[in-house]
């Protein structure tokens, strides 16, 4: 599938105007026919008549005339020679194979929204993982407020030569392995599920991803073990076989079916020992009585996964039903593909007899090379030559798949890096801790606290290097603008800036007791009698609650401005006199606490132990994900920062645990209740970590609880 990335004809007009339609348009000059990538006909793009916010109901539709395997989409805004200023920052895709049943495309973690354009003219390409098999595609532009949007698009992929429209199969099952189970469900299936049966759709068995020899490992980045395979256990099938049905777009003559299977005997997995297939030519007709059977010699020595070629002997049909007989405890498939040709002769589609009443049997037709009607018939796969050709085709397909997967993996690493990069690379910043000797003599500064005369003021000075990139300068100025709005007793204040000349710098307050993590880790919890077991300074439980309430208060203020912190933790909170807490986010904390960050490709760093599952898997940061991070920060406070969150897990296991939250099958791991934490407060933490972000408490609720209720529990 690595080469299945051809432009399908928006830009070069292979797709005609009549195959483009839309829900509405400003005028004929912004109609659907003007939605072609990198062209400027009419007024430069398709523009819906009204705003897309809040309903996201406007769409642009493309009819590809035939089923296609879509791997990539491109979008562009309206430039119109500098006169257009409309583009869509995000959009959704819907698709259909028959124009009756429309499906919403979702990525491998369930997210429907695709990031779009940041300006009017730049083309943004987005890989589709999983890919789409469809004839009709709709683009739904989105906006976060009432505004005009315009769109130009291109689709990339290739003809879906298999012609497979849907397959029916039993639901994939879960293999209970240690230390974690392996989920062998068809997680991208786009059909229906009823009574442990999936029907009417396509999924992982047609996504072009061939599984590894070890099915507990996965080629896809950030997904769970077993993702590449769909699997079934033999004791769930009393008859000894698993049944699948396949529906195609038209009547076809079939040469072979290729099934990629796992064969890891040490885990009880084997390829099937026999497969029996039968055919029918239309939905109302009966299944042909003759079976095509293929028996395999089960290889117990070689545990490698492999593609098994099943000859289908030139049989005609639009529907196939195949029984795959178990040879071991488990049977695992990762891909199923077919080689077939469309039968154009309508006279053969209405008969339900096998062999055909008029004319020789298929074996005779195969010898002759064509039917009496003159239609070419593929030779049966029962000769050494055909087997050799099949093997060569399989090898070529596997090589293409390997190349595709390598490129796909590199792409997702790049995307994850983009999502998770901090706003300013540390290599372009220095942060210095400084003192202002006589702050009371500087009337232009608005101090949010009292400064004693003659006492220096501790400040942090963040300096942008003079050789910083243009993007870094823009991000720095954006940060200055944001911080100038943040005026709250529990938020570090911006005291001054220098933006006229290089180097650019900003001055923020700093607290004399340093960061909260170091401060708490140097203390012990005061016992109920007010004493301590060592010479270390003590801190009481009510004081810890007071500390947490201040953090919640600061976050409540940020949430009221729709400001997302992204890195809330004790290391990014400062401590002043009287246990005053202020939330900060200094780049220097990433050097001091490098063990708290997970490095991506040696550049981007992520505080994954504090991040909600949707941040790790989808790069989706919201106030609700800050609530998750607050729950972890509250856990740190009550543990007096004596232990790193999830200290028993490696970074990779923390990421896998995020996958468990996504799957929501009861296998996720939570932080344990701190010794000093009442049950009711621990329940607040657990509510911060619920799967659905909408079900997490607000900072307003958390602050009220900590300020009023928690103190009463002491």
Paired strand residues for 68: 134, 159
Give the containing element (helix H, strand E) for 56.
Answer: none
> Contacts from 346-354 at CB under 8 Å and sequence distance 24+?
347/373, 348/251, 348/281, 348/316, 348/373, 349/251, 349/281, 349/282, 349/318, 350/281, 350/282, 351/281, 352/280, 352/281, 352/285, 352/286, 352/288, 354/279, 354/288, 354/289, 354/290
DSSP 3-state of 261: strand
Q: Could you count the other beta carbons within 10 Å of the beta carbon of residue 648?
A: 9
- Annotate 488-532 with DSSP letters as a single string: -TTBPPEEEEE-SSSSPEEEEE--TT-BHHHHHHT-EE--TTS--
Give the residue carrying structure tokens 């000769």. Answer: 383
Q: Could you count the other beta carbons within 10 Å of the beta carbon of residue 49?
A: 13
Burial code of 517-541, b = ≥16 C-beta within 10 A, e = fewer? Answer: bebbbebbbbeeeeeeeeeeeebbb
CA neighbor of 27 nearest in space, from 51, 49, 45: 49
The residues, ordered by sequence, that sit 6+ positions from 613 with a Cβ below 8 Å of its Cβ are: 657, 658, 659, 661, 662, 691
Give the containing element (helix H, strand E) for 95.
Answer: strand 90-96
* Structure token pair of residue 697: 């408490």
* Structure token pair of residue 6: 């051809």
* Structure token pair of residue 643: 């232990």
Phi/psi at 348 (5° precision): -90, -10
DSSP label of 620: -
DSSP 3-state of 34: helix
DSSP label of 12: T
Give burial (CB, 10 Å; 0-12/13-18/19+) of 220: middle
Paired strand residues for 539: 525
Phi/psi at 243 (5° precision): -100, 135
User: Is residue 72 a contact partner of residue 127, using CB atoms and an 8 Å limit?
Assistant: yes
Cα–Cα distance between 172 and 570 in angstroms, integer? 43
CA neighbor of 300 nearest in space, from 266, 325, 330: 266
My answer on whether omega of the bond before 289 falls inside 30° of 0, hence cis, is no
Q: Could you count the other beta carbons within 10 Å of the beta carbon of residue 587?
A: 17
Give Cα 355 to chain centroid, integer Å: 49
User: Is residue 523 a contact partner of residue 535, using CB atoms and an 8 Å limit?
Assistant: no
Q: Could you count the other beta carbons within 10 Å of the beta carbon of residue 151?
A: 31
CA neighbor of 704 nearest in space, from 675, 686, 682, 684: 684
User: Is residue 89 a contact partner of residue 142, using CB atoms and an 8 Å limit?
Assistant: yes
Q: Could you count the other beta carbons within 10 Å of the beta carbon of residue 257?
A: 23
User: Is residue 184 a contact partner of residue 174, using CB atoms and an 8 Å limit?
Assistant: yes
Q: How many residues does the chain have?
A: 714
CA neighbor of 11 nearest in space, from 49, 41, 31: 41
CA neighbor of 130 nearest in space, from 31, 220, 260: 220
CA triple 363-369-371, angle to 5 deg: 75
User: Is residue 10 a contact partner of residue 76, using CB atoms and an 8 Å limit?
Assistant: no
- What residues act catalytically? 567
């Amino acid at each position: 599938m690595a080469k299945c990335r051809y432009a399908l004809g928006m830009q070069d007009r292979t797709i005609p105007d009549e195959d483009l339609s839309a829900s509405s348009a400003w005028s004929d000059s912004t109609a659907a026919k003007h939605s072609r990538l990198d062209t400027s006909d009419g007024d430069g793009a398709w523009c819906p008549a009204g705003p897309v916010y809040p309903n996201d109901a406007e769409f642009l539709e493309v009819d590809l005339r035939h089923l296609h395997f879509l791997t990539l989409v491109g979008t562009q805004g309206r430039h119109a020679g500098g006169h257009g200023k409309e583009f869509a920052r995000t959009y959704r895709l819907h698709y259909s194979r028959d124009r009756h049943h429309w499906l919403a495309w979702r990525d491998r973690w369930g997210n429907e929204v695709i990031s779009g354009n940041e300006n009017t003219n730049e083309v943004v390409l987005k890989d589709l993982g999983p890919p789409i098999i469809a004839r009709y595609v709709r683009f739904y532009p989105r906006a976060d407020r009432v505004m005009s949007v315009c769109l130009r698009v291109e689709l990339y992929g290739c003809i879906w030569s298999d012609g497979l429209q849907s397959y029916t199969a039993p639901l994939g099952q879960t293999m209970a392995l240690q230390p974690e189970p392996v989920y062998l469900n068809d997680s991208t299936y786009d059909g229906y599920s009823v009574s442990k049966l999936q029907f009417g759709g396509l999924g992982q068995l047609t996504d072009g991803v061939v599984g590894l020899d070890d099915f507990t490992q996965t080629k896809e980045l950030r997904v769970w073990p077993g993702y590449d395979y769909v699997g079934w256990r033999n004791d769930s099938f009393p008859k000894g076989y698993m049944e699948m049905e396949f529906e195609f777009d038209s009547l076809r003559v079939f040469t072979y079916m290729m099934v990629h299977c796992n064969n890891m005997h040490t885990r009880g997995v084997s390829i099937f020992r026999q497969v029996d297939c039968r055919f029918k030519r239309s939905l109302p007709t009966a299944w042909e009585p003759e079976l095509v059977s293929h028996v395999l010699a089960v290889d117990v020595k070689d545990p490698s996964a492999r593609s098994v070629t099943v000859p289908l002997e030139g049989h005609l049909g639009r529907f196939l039903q195949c029984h795959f007989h178990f040879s071991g405890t488990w049977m695992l498939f990762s891909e199923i593909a077919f080689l077939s040709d469309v039968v154009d002769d309508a006279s053969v589609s209405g008969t339900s007899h096998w062999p055909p009443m008029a004319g020789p049997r298929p074996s005779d037709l195969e010898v002759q090379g064509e039917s009496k009607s003159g239609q070419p018939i593929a030779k049966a796969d029962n000769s050494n030559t055909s087997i050799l050709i099949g093997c060569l085709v399989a090898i070529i397909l596997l090589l293409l798949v390997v190349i595709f997967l390598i490129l796909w993996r590199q792409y997702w690493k790049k995307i994850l890096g983009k999502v998770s990069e901090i706003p300013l690379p540390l290599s372009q910043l220095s942060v210095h801790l400084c003192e202002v000797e006589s702050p009371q003599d500087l009337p232009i500064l608005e101090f949010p606290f009292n400064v004693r005369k003659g006492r220096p003021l501790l400040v942090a000075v963040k300096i942008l290097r003079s050789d910083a990139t243009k993007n870094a300068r823009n991000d720095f100025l954006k940060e200055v603008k944001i911080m100038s709005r943040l005026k709250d007793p529990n938020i570090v204040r911006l005291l001054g800036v220098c933006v006229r000349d290089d180097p650019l710098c900003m001055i923020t307050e700093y607290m004399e007791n340093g960061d909260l993590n170091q401060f708490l880790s140097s203390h012990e919890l005061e016992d109920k009698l007010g004493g301590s077991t060592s010479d270390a300074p003590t801190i009481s439980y009510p004081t810890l609650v007071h500390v947490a309430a201040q953090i919640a208060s600061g976050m409540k203020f940020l949430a009221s401005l729709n400001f997302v912190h992204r890195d809330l933790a004790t290391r990014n909170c400062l401590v002043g006199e009287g246990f005053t807490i202020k939330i900060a986010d200094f780049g220097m904390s990433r050097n001091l606490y490098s063990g708290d960050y997970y490095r991506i490709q040696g550049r981007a760093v992520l505080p994954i132990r504090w991040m909600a599952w949707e941040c790790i898997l989808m790069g989706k940061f919201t106030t609700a994900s800050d609530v998750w991070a607050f729950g972890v920060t509250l856990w740190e406070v009550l543990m007096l920062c004596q232990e790193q969150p999830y200290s028993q897990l490696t970074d990779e296991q923390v990421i896998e645990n995020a996958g468990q939250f996504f799957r929501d099958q009861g296998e996720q791991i939570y932080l344990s209740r701190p010794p000093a934490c009442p049950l009711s407060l621990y329940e607040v933490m657990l509510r911060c970590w619920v799967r659905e972000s909408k079900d997490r408490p607000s900072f307003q609720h958390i602050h009220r609880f900590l300020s009023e209720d928690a103190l009463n529990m002491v």
